[in-house]
Structure 1
């Protein structure tokens, strides 16, 4: 799993104006982030508007990613749900041969107890042909996965190898870093906090912003991992306003506005996600024009 130390990018799913998947734009995006220096890509995460994709579309996106990445970088596939049996079935049937790992979000909506979260991950880890990366994002799931639950899974379940931690709680993050197994990776899920989190001992970032700012985000993480903190701080503060704009109203609405200005993809979504407001779009466009 050392190949997942660095910068991953949670890929958006580009749509055409008729809301069908824009395969040409998705290929442009893949080439853009790999050229920009990211270490691996993550299709079918929440940034990819996965809840609005059909089962057939998810399978097509997975296969298309493998084909267009063509082993230039590792691929981590997002497979998660609040229905444990459904996740197990998908893990057993999806063509995951070319994936290095599976990123699986904590079960959402049901708001299970910490024991329920533990048993969910234990079940899917047993079914998965690939290593599992835990994903704690309580702002989306409605339930925080505690440091104790994360550490219990890390120590007791062999096929669980990493954690994408997006709680925004620095104390919780440090508790996990302090007591994790030696070879267990802790990966940031917060672009705006990633630099200080890597300084505290995290192993990298799975980024939203790297969909457009691939070069600077990956440069920031590489510098932080290499203990070049002056450069890491410089890039962090260069990107700070972009992070704020990107997440002000919605993800992926913010990042798709940047990608539209860059000519990579249309500014199109499937409901219930809608484009950012006109005021925010104007500020994003102004920032984009002045960014160097």
Structure 2
């Protein structure tokens, strides 16, 4: 499988991790999930992210998930390798690259407080990972680390194996504009920018120069459709598709409950056998399920109205 590069475009969906009701990994659903995402047109998969419940897994489980997905997938796979220390990060990174990963993703530690600390961390990551291409995950809402555009520019200039930004500021549209302005002026390399936050700002992000999405949603075809239509210049159709799915995407963005809603719909769609999160994790109440079912019904109606 080819390595991740600065030219990456499209949708690299953040994959869930399927569990059985007893908390064990559901390997049959892992295979079915990979096939489902590919059938919906994603360009790549990203596994072992926060919404993949990676912090709840052992090191051996993480390696087993990576091995299973990489062996099954026909598209590039990016693996989250964020760890408290560089040694553990390097160990998992080396393992997944040896079995065919396209690259890895790294978020900063919560102890990062200053611009110089953010730069120093990613400079160290670049050195530790050697030739392995990596994604800089910029997700202040979860990490509590804000990385200014000027710092990202500095990292891009000095750390050649940083090939992608997972832009997940809230919404941070100005950050995308600033980064693209720097590369257009020749001040930095132009790296790939794929966006997160469940796709809530995807049309606007594409308009600012993003190359696609790296996030999760129970209907990945929404993100694929938006990115495809925007890339072809059919901006209004991209917005039509986005608008039809927006209420459900918004519901999924609830902290804690959102992943439970995503897994509920994926189970309803037959992608995974159980909607269970590994403990500790949220579960939907009957009222929550009623909310989701109403949103699904209205979404189906709207999609029919626009012929999508």
The answer to whether the superposition gives a TM-score over 0.5 is yes
Offset of residue 287 of structure 1: 2.2
Which structure 1 segments of 5+ residues have no match?
none
Deviations 1:142-197 (A, max 9, x none): 11111111111111111111100101222222212221334311111121011110
Q: Where do residues 1-292 of structure 1 align in structure 2 (5 Å cutoff)?
A: 1=5, 4-69=8-73, 72-108=74-110, 110-128=111-129, 129-168=131-170, 169-180=172-183, 181-190=188-197, 191-209=199-217, 212-250=218-256, 251-265=258-272, 266-292=274-300
Change in Cα spacing, 1:217 to 1:282, as seen in structure 2 (3 Å) is same
Equivalent in the alignment of 2:305: none
Deviations 1:41-73 (A, max 9, x none): 01111110000010000000000001111xx21
SS at match of 1:252: helix
Change in Cα spacing, 1:264 to 1:92, as seen in structure 2 (3 Å) is closer
Number of paired residues? Answer: 287
Offset of residue 94 of structure 1: 4.2
Offset of residue 83 of structure 1: 2.5
Pairwise CA RMSD: 1.8
Which structure 2 segments of 5+ residues have no match?
301-308
TM superposition score normalised by structure 2: 0.87
- C-alpha distance in structure 2 between counterparts of 1:100 and 1:10, whole Å: 14
SS at match of 1:270: coil
- C-alpha distance in structure 1 between counterparts of 2:286 and 2:155, whole Å: 44
- C-alpha distance in structure 2 between counterparts of 1:156 and 1:244, whole Å: 37
